Each structure stands twice: as structure tokens, then as C-alpha cells.
Amino acid sequence: MTLSFFDQFMSPVYMGIPLMALALTLPWVLYPTPSTRWLNNRLLTLQGWFINRFTQQLLLPINTGGHKWAVILTSLMIFLISLNMLGLLPYTFTPTTQLSLNMGLAVPLWLATVIIGMRNQPTHALGHLLPEGTPTLLIPVLIIIETISLFIRPLALGVRLTANLTAGHLLIQLIATAAFVLLPLMPTVAILTAILLFLLTLLEVAVAMIQAYVFVLLLSLYLQENV
């Protein structure tokens, strides 16, 4: 029973064929496509309003040079929200619970922001490694610490998203199993546990959206430092 709780995080395989690519491609099929009509339907109008508001809030503190990243960051935000939300459905697989996928998203984008900073303004980018007014004796130590913190950023991005979603899925499965086991023994306690499960599911819906937003927001802050 203990080991079966972690089976939900195994990459799905059918007849020896990994289905990770299908799990990553499916959300794009669900998005409504723009029509050639002058007036869009309510779903497209709501989608366009949400994307515009999110892009404005995300790019507000970033200089004009960083606005080229608007399409990448907005697409990543919608993609992560879709993967996280679809993973809450029964008998589905959540690709963002895999650390390898999250690191594959975090490392290239973080590295791109660092390369942009080193190419456009190398003095300013390297200046982050040493705060102004640092005592001479602390200069080597601070440079090492700031360098380590710089390289930990993509790891923190990937681990944060993986840990939050994995913990939520495990907690939902534990409480659901407890409610199922307690139903014939103590129906009242099982009903209370089911109510707790419902509230936890609502919390996980919020966590799924918030974690996707935090992932993209931190990337935009890294971009702001280097643009």
C-alpha cells in the first residue's frame, strides 16, 4: 500500500511506448482557436482578456527590451496551468510532477536570461555577484556565495514546482484512501474526511494555478535583472 501511493508519479507507458509526449501535447488541443469572424464567442473573449491582463501585469516592471519575452512567458504560464489542472482529474498523469521536465523548462530559460545579461551589460550582470560597499575581507566569500545562489535558481524553480504538486497529490490520495477505508467502519468520520478532501481539492486547484504563476513570475524577475 505504501509503495502504490507513488505509482501515480510514474511516467505512463503503453506497450513499451512512453506517453509523456502525448501528455504534453494534449493540452494544446483543448485551447480554443481564433476564428475569422468579427465578433468572437464568450470563451475566446474571456481567454483574450485573461492573457492581456496577465501579460500587462507580468511585463509592468520589465524594461522595453524584455517585452520580447511576452509570448514565451505567457505561453509557458498557460501551458503549466493546463498541465497542473488536468493532472487533478481522476486517472490522469501530471507531467509537472517530474523533476526532469521542470528542470528542462527552468534551466534553458534561466540560462537565456543570464546570457542576455552577460551579452548586453556584462558589468551590471557581474555586479550582482558583489554588493556595493562590501568590506575587503568579505569580497571572496560573498562572490562565492552569490555565484552559488545564482546557479541554485533553476534548481529552486524546478524543485518548488515538483514538490508542491507532488505533496498535494499525495495528500489527496492519502485522505481519499482514509475516507474509503473508514466508510464501512465509521460513516460519520468518513463523511467528515470526504468534506476535508473536497476542501483540499479546492486548495490544490489554487496551488496548481499559483505555482504556475510563481514559476513564470520568478523567470520574469530574473529577466528584469539582466535586461
Instruction: Report how many domains make up the chain.
Output: 1
**Residue 31 belongs to some domain of the structure:** yes
Domain contains 211: yes
Q: Is the pLDDT of residue 3 over 60?
A: no
The fraction of the chain above a pLDDT of 90, given in percent, is 28
* Domain presence at residue 83: yes
Is 53 inside a domain boundary?
yes
The predicted model scores a pTM of 0.84
Structural domain contains residue 1: no
Q: What pLDDT, on a 0 to 100 scale, did the predictor assign at position 210?
A: 93
Domain region containing 77: 7-225
pLDDT at 38: 76
Question: CB neighbours of 160 closer than 8 A, spacing ≥ 6?
Answer: 211, 214, 215
Specify if 126 maps to a domain: yes
Model pLDDT for residues 52-66, shown as the tens digit of each residue:
898 888 888 888 878
* pLDDT tens for each residue of 8-60: 677 777 777 777 777 888 888 887 776 777 777 787 888 888 888 988 888 88
Residue-wise pLDDT for 146-197, tens only, equals: 889 889 999 999 999 999 999 888 899 889 888 888 888 888 988 999 999 9
Structural domain contains residue 18: yes
Report if residue 2 sits inside a domain: no
